[in-house]
């Protein structure tokens, strides 16, 4: 592939969803509400974990990382979408477009690796309960967390460098609501087969490897749970994993769907729907899943509300 440093296109135009003014205002209100709930919900999860000593465990340490990731991931795209909808200004600079594209995939890859780490934590807790505290010590948890972030960085940095070196001669219109790599590559006036191949290989490397390890972890977890004699014990063990299983199914489902869409044949509208699922809906669901399906989090949340009411009454 011939790579050059010169870029004739200095900015791109994001078409977004619709040109109808009423539709844009409606989308703005919906996205603003969903984004606000996502940010507030994930911040509440983080504060609850930091506040209460009962949640100072490896499982909730990784949940803090996940909530922070969800905030960062949705912030990469949604604020720019809101600005475009309310102002009608759909222009994004070349450098901002490349940065948005990179951070979208960097944070997405990190999230998949973190979910894999969280499944390993649940595997250790259920299959090796007597050694759990020794194995999942603070240093090891910190190492796993840092490894997830470094892995996400390394998985996407090469593609970002290669894309930033491409020449774009026009047109500069991206039929999407953010700088996704597929519609961006279609605008390059150079051959992009190598970047497409690297992007596919690296995406599959992270998605499939983390999915396989997560699946294997839950196969062993299921086997261990079924060996528990009491129904109460089995339910308690399963309940510690139910929130994570739900998040895994949602995130891996949307990620695998995105990975296996052919570059040239995929529908533009289908790509947009898939992107909305990953950038808006999935980060929104995380705090609700972990608060509604996790007894400890619900208990701490109820106690926090009760204590605030008592303070106000005084």
Closest CA to 58 of 204, 244, 201, 223: 244
> Residue 2: what pLDDT?
47
The residue that leads in pLDDT, 289 or 63, is: 63
Helix (H, G, I), strand (E, B) or coil at 11: strand
Q: Where are the beta strands (DSSP E) in the chain?
A: 11-14, 91-93, 173-174
For the residues 239-244, what does the mean pLDDT come to? Answer: 79
| Maximum mean pLDDT: which of 14-23, 67-76, 84-93, 289-298 | 67-76
Residue 252 pLDDT > 50: yes
Among 2-16, 38-52, 211-225, whose mean pLDDT is lowest? 2-16
> Residue 18: what pLDDT?
67
CA dihedral 57, 122, 63, 288 (to 10 degrees): -120
pLDDT in tens, 195-236: 889 888 888 888 888 989 999 999 999 898 888 888 888 888
Q: Are 126 and 221 in contact (CB under 8 A)?
A: yes
Q: Which domains does the chain have, with CATH numbers?
A: 11-313 (1.20.1070.10)
Closest CA to 59 of 283, 244, 247, 299: 244
> Residue 116: what pLDDT?
93
Cross-strand pairs, 11:
93
Identify the sign of the CA torsion 184, 286, 123, 231.
negative
Residue 138's contacts (CB-CB under 8 Å, 6 or more residues apart) are none
Q: For the chain, what percent of residues have pLDDT higher than 90? A: 31
Question: DSSP assignment of 70-133, as one string?
Answer: HHHHHHHHHHHHHHHHHH---EEEHHHHHHHHHHHHHHHHHHHHHHHHHHHHHHHHHHSGGGHH
Residue 113 pLDDT > 90: yes
Question: What is the rounded distance in angstroms from the CA atom of residue 157 to the CA atom of residue 218?
Answer: 31
Other CB atoms within a 10 A radius of the CB of residue 187 amount to 18
Cross-strand pairs, 14:
174
Residue 121 pLDDT > 90: yes
How many angstroms separate the first and last alpha carbons of the chain? 71
């Amino acid at each position: 592939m011939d790579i050059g440093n010169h870029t004739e296109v200095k900015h791109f135009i994001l078409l977004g969803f619709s040109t109808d003014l009423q539709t844009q205002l409606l989308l703005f209100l919906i996205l603003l509400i969903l984004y606000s709930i996502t940010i507030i919900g994930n911040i509440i999860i983080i504060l609850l974990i930091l506040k209460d000593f009962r949640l100072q465990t490896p499982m909730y340490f990784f949940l803090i990382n996940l909530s922070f990731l969800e905030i960062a991931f949705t912030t990469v795209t949604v604020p720019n979408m809101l600005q475009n909808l309310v102002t009608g200004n759909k222009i994004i600079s070349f450098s901002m477009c490349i940065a948005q594209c990179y951070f979208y995939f960097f944070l997405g890859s990190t999230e998949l690796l973190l979910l894999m780490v969280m499944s390993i934590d649940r595997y250790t807790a259920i299959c090796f309960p007597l050694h759990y505290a020794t194995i999942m010590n603070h240093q090891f948890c910190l190492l796993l967390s840092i490894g997830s972030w470094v892995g996400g960085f390394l998985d996407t940095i090469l593609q970002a460098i290669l894309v930033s070196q491409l020449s774009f001669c026009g047109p500069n219109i991206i039929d999407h609501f953010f700088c996704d790599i597929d519609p961006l590559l279609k605008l390059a006036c150079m051959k992009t087969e190598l970047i497409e191949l690297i992007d596919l290989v690296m995406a599959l490397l992270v998605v499939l490897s983390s999915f396989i390890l997560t699946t294997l972890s839950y196969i062993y977890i299921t086997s261990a749970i079924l060996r528990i004699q009491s129904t109460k014990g089995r339910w308690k063990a399963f309940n510690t994993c139910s929130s994570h299983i739900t998040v895994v199914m949602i995130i891996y489902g949307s990620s695998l769907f995105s990975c296996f869409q052919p570059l040239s044949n995929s529908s533009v509208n289908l790509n947009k729907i898939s992107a909305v699922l990953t950038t808006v809906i999935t980060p929104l669901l995380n705090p609700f899943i972990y608060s509604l399906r996790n007894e400890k989090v619900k208990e701490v949340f109820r106690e926090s509300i009760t204590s605030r009411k008592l303070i106000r009454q005084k």
